[in-house]
Amino acid sequence: MALAKKITRSLMLAAFGAALATPGVALAQDTGASVNGLTGNAEAGKRDYRRWCVGCHGKEGNGEGENAPYIDPRPRDFTEALFRWRSTPTGTLPTDQDLYDTITRGVVDTLMPTWRPLTPQTRVDLIAYIKTFSPKWQTQRAGAPITIPPEPPQTIDSVLHGRQLFDQMQCWKCHGPEGRGDGPSAITLTDDKGEPIRPYNFHDGTRFRCGETNSDLYKIFMTGLDGTPMPSFADSLKPQDAWDLVHFLRTLQPNVQSESRNVWLEYVKTHQGQIKPIGAESAGQ
């Protein structure tokens, strides 16, 4: 009789608890991970994290691993749930695919290596685990990925319009008129932790930290690099404008083969002395 009472009591408690918890299902949350049909297991991810990631990212996931004091740029602090390379708008969480891509690709010019040697399942497990470092994943959903329209042809009109935008949007303030990362504001830029950070140098650089395609470049300024001085231009640029800007930015990279740079060099040959330098008119004088 006592046992029956106990069972009834626990069943009623469970039902009551479930009734209270049901509203929680409707709350936005994004715990767990799923990429390419694989589901992440946070427990397995924890074991893998302790083997591969803890040295830099730290036991608490706060970027304070043993190696961290000797690394520049510093390892990601997962407790902030603030991620740089996303397909989602500024101020929103990245998708699982974004995180998977970063782990897989690694981050060029930093000490984050490519983790291709780990199986896809391991990488997805790691994503499920790193989400446990911040409560933000419990209360927010990942942002909706931005729509990237098909890329138009790389014509001189597109490049010239992009050049105009680079001038008007004043990208050169940080990136410099030739994209060498030497604009007037470049030297004073700081990241969220107050550490100096330099803008991307298009003249010397080939790959970006988040990839190397035109679509990757498009995403950089249309989602902003959260946690850095690089803002999102999604409110100021129409998708067509964004593609024109991508094409112009490619002309700033002599070490990257692109149709945009070819048509631009042709144009420069035939329009000597007619090209207005960047930064003169839009300096607000």
Partner 1 sequence: MRIRFFALLAVFGLAGSAMLVTAARPAGGTITGKVTFTGTPPKMKPIDMSKEPYCQKLHNPPIKTQDVETGPGDTLEDAVVFISAGDQGSSSASTPVRYDQKGCQYIPHVAVMMVDQPLQIYNDDPNAHNIHPLPKVNSEWNKSQPPGAPPIDTKWDKPEFISVKCNIHPWMHGYFVVLKTSHYGVTGPDGTFTIKDVPPGKYTVTAWQEHMGTQTQEVTVAGGAATANFVFKAMPY
Torsion of CA 233, 239, 243, 249, to 10 degrees: -10
The whole-angstrom separation of Cα 139 and Cα 133 is: 13
Cβ contacts of residue 58 below 8 Å, gap of 6+?
64, 65, 68, 75
* Tokens 């626990």 belong to residue: 10
Per CB under 8 A, 283 contacts partner 1: yes
Minimum Å distance from CB 179 to partner 1?
16
Cβ burial 27-53 (10 Å sphere, 16+ → b, else e): eebbeebebeebebbbebbbebbeebb
Minimum CB separation of residue 184 from partner 1 in Å reads 5
Q: Which of 84, 125, 87, 90 shows the shortest CA–CA distance to 107? A: 84
Piece of 41-49, 117-125, 257-265, 277-285 that binds partner 1 (CB under 8 A): 277-285
How far is residue 157's CA from residue 260's CA, in Å, rounded to a whole number?
Answer: 10
**Residue placing its CB nearer to partner 1 in the complex, 173 or 180:** 173
Question: Considering beta carbons, is residue 19 or 25 the nearer one to partner 1?
Answer: 19
> Residue 207: how many CB atoms within 10 A of its CB?
14
Between residues 36 and 236, which has the closer beta carbon with respect to partner 1?
236
Q: Hey, which residues between 72 and 91 contact partner 1 (CB under 8 A)?
A: 80, 82, 90-91
In the stretch 116-155, what mask flags binding to partner 1 with x, by CB under 8 A?
--------------------x---x---------------
The nearest distance, CB 37 to partner 1, in angstroms, is 29
Residue 70, SS3 per DSSP: helix
| 226 belongs to the binding site for partner 1 (CB under 8 A) | yes
236 makes contact with partner 1 (CB under 8 A): yes
Q: Smallest distance, Å, CB 120 to partner 1?
A: 29
Element (H or E) spanning 39, and its range? strand 38-39
Q: Which residues of this protein are in contact with partner 1, per CB under 8 A?
A: 8-9, 12, 16, 80, 82, 90-92, 136, 140, 168-170, 173-174, 184-185, 188-190, 192, 224-236, 282-285
